[in-house]
Amino acid sequence: MAKDRVLALSGGVGGAKLALGLGRVLPGDALTIVANTGDDFQHLGLSISPDLDTLLYTLGGLDNSATGWGQRDETWNFMTALKKLGGEAWFQLGDRDLATHVERTRRLAAGEPLSSIIDNFRNRFGIAARILPMSDDKVRTRVKTVEGWLDFQDYFVRQQCRPAISDITFAGAADATMLPGFRDALTDNSLRAIIVCPSNPFISIEPILAVPGVRSAIREAEVPVIAISPIIGGQAVKGPTAKMMKELGIEASAAAVARRYGDLIDAYVVDHADAESCANLGMTIVPAKALMETIEDREALARIALDAADQVMAAA
């Protein structure tokens, strides 16, 4: 049985870049991506799934590479008209992006599961990789600030991550059921590697790991788990990772992220700038150019992660 299937765990921007690289270096449908849904929320009556949409747009070639979210070549007529009506305008919804939220909301209201909707959308976007939510059940990331608990998008977008946070929780995770397709991917005998994409560990990867059964299923898969550091030289490539880590009392470093993942991972791909500081972590360290600026960077990093998995498997 050829071990040729790969499972990637991903959040938004950073994860989607690597997922694109993986999708380009792997044949057809060999790649399954499980996305964080903790960022999801209801806004203006719409069901919004940012990390799923970033993956759909990135792999579908529709992404806005400047922002990392929403679609390219957007128009903003809806937002302009909404502002005129005094509507909530802090969360920017482009006209093309709006169609995704409206159609998803309609289908959810008609009883279609989120996973089925996303699978239909990725087929329509011509994406060969499977893109799955971690669960079809509601899990919502919330952060604790001096003002009390905030919903993630309220903190992240409306308040631009200004409030200092002291805790983070994934409301609903304990009662969420792992998506069957996710479990199937983990028990697939032809699984070659599990890749933890370079997304923010707290807001993107840990919600996935918080779904009951995920951590044990990863362990039981007995497949190499390779993580790519989201921190390069002590600075989060994009987003508030470093600030959040500091406020949560965790050193904003590649090594601290590896310690956070602990024995879940077999090897850790880090930028050359961080290789030395990660040398004594008790796991295989793979130095690489972790900053993905070009499509070639994305493919090269994907190959490095896959090679690391093959090395771990060969040494097992």
Binding span for ligand FO1 by CB under 6 A among 58-66, 87-95, 118-126, 288-296: 87-95
Three-state SS letters, the chain: CCCCEEEEEECCHHHHHHHHHHHHHCCHHHEEEEECCCCCEEECCEEECHHHHHHHHHHCCCECCCCCCCECCCCCHHHHHHHHCCCCCCCCCCHHHHHHHHHHHHHHHCCCCHHHHHHHHHHHCCCCCEEEECECCCCEEEEEECCEEEEHHHHHHHCCCCCCEEEEEEECHHHCCECHHHHHHHHCCCEEEEEECCCCHHHHHHHHHHCCCHHHHHHHHCCCEEEECCEECCEECCCCHHHHHHHCCCCCCHHHHHHHHHHHCCEEEEEHHHCHHHCCCCCEEEEECCCCCCHHHHHHHHHHHHHHHHHHHHHC
Residue of the chain from 24, 92, 128, 138 that contacts ligand FO1 (CB under 6 A): 92
Binding span for ligand FO1 by CB under 6 A among 149-157, 174-182, 260-268, 299-307: 149-157
* 39 token code pair: 């960022």
Q: In what order do the strands lie in the sheet with 140-145?
A: 148-151, 140-145, 165-171
Question: What is the amino acid identity at position 81?
Answer: A
Identity of the residue, 13 or 25, whose beta carbon is nearer to ligand FO1 in the bound complex: 13
Residue of the chain from 153, 229, 241, 277 that contacts ligand FO1 (CB under 6 A): 153
97 touching ligand FO1, by CB under 6 A:
yes
The contact pattern for ligand FO1, residues 10-39, with x = CB under 6 A and - = no contact, is -xxx-------------------------x
What CA–CA distance (Å, rounded) separates 299 from 24?
Answer: 7
* CB of 266 vs ligand FO1, minimal distance in Å: 26
Applying CB under 6 A, what is the total number of residues that bind ligand FO1?
Answer: 17
58 touching ligand FO1, by CB under 6 A:
no
Binding span for ligand FO1 by CB under 6 A among 65-73, 108-116, 172-180, 257-265: 65-73
* CB of 176 vs ligand FO1, minimal distance in Å: 18
291 touching ligand FO1, by CB under 6 A:
no
* CB of 63 vs ligand FO1, minimal distance in Å: 10
Binding span for ligand FO1 by CB under 6 A among 62-70, 119-127, 269-277, 285-293: 62-70
Asked if 258 and 268 touch (Cβ cutoff 8 Å), the reply is yes
Residue of the chain from 5, 8, 10, 51 that contacts ligand FO1 (CB under 6 A): 51
159 touching ligand FO1, by CB under 6 A:
no
Residue of the chain from 78, 121, 156, 182 that contacts ligand FO1 (CB under 6 A): 156
Binding span for ligand FO1 by CB under 6 A among 21-29, 132-140, 152-160, 221-229: 152-160
What CA–CA distance (Å, rounded) separates 16 from 12?
Answer: 6
157 touching ligand FO1, by CB under 6 A:
yes
The contact pattern for ligand FO1, residues 195-214, with x = CB under 6 A and - = no contact, is --------------------
Contact positions vs ligand FO1 (CB under 6 A): 11-13, 39, 50-51, 53, 68-70, 91-93, 97, 153, 156-157
